[in-house]
Amino acid sequence: MKMTIKRNIVLLIAAFFFIMGVAIPFANAAEKPTVKIPKASIFMKCPQCALFGFTPDAKIEITLAEVLKVHGFCALGGTFSFRAAKEGLKLLYGSELPTRHQIKVQTSNPCCQAMALSYITGACGKDYGAYHARGKLIILPAEDKKIVFTDISSGKSITLRPLFNPHSTMAPLLKKAFKDPSFAPEVTKVMNEKIHEYLTAPIEKLFIVE
């Protein structure tokens, strides 16, 4: 009888610590601020995707969440480029869906912003991408301060001149958080604010269209 009681006590203690061990991480996760990525999409045509069975038809969806995974943690540049692509392609193609890999992209902003544009359009640099890649990604001098989308088949172009560079906001915040991780929640707060702003602000608050 005494052995049974002792065994039950041991089991209760073990169960208590097991539950606490599971509950505490969940509690901490609930308290930690997170980057909220809104549902936003750009639709394009990709005939090769349908031809080889990657998609049921030629229409593909590229989401903001997918684009932000390209860089991994710096959400402002990716979101800003996502909005630039959404507006630029709409101005260039109207109601027609653009064809991925048939768009040349020129941008003055490298790093995550150029990578996001490359992911969306399929445009790659001269020595990057599949053997039959048709897109082109060209990095312009920083002082040009523009993003140019060109339909390769027609030669028609649209130019967006960003009114600011998200990197100027993000770089000092990331630098501070890398040095002092306790500052990370402030970075998350700014990311959430700017993601919302970049996705919803009137186009004239973000770009000059030429």
* For the chain, domain boundaries: 41-209
What six digits make up the tokens of 52?
């080889």
Q: What is the pLDDT of residue 49?
A: 86
Could you give the angle at which helices 75-93 and 166-179 cross, rounded to 10 degrees?
160
**Can you give the pLDDT at residue 57?**
86
pLDDT of 60: 93
Classified by CATH at the fold level, domain 41-209 comes out as 60s Ribosomal Protein L30; Chain: A; (3.30.1330)
Residues in the chain with pLDDT values less than 50: 10-11, 14-20, 22-24, 26-29
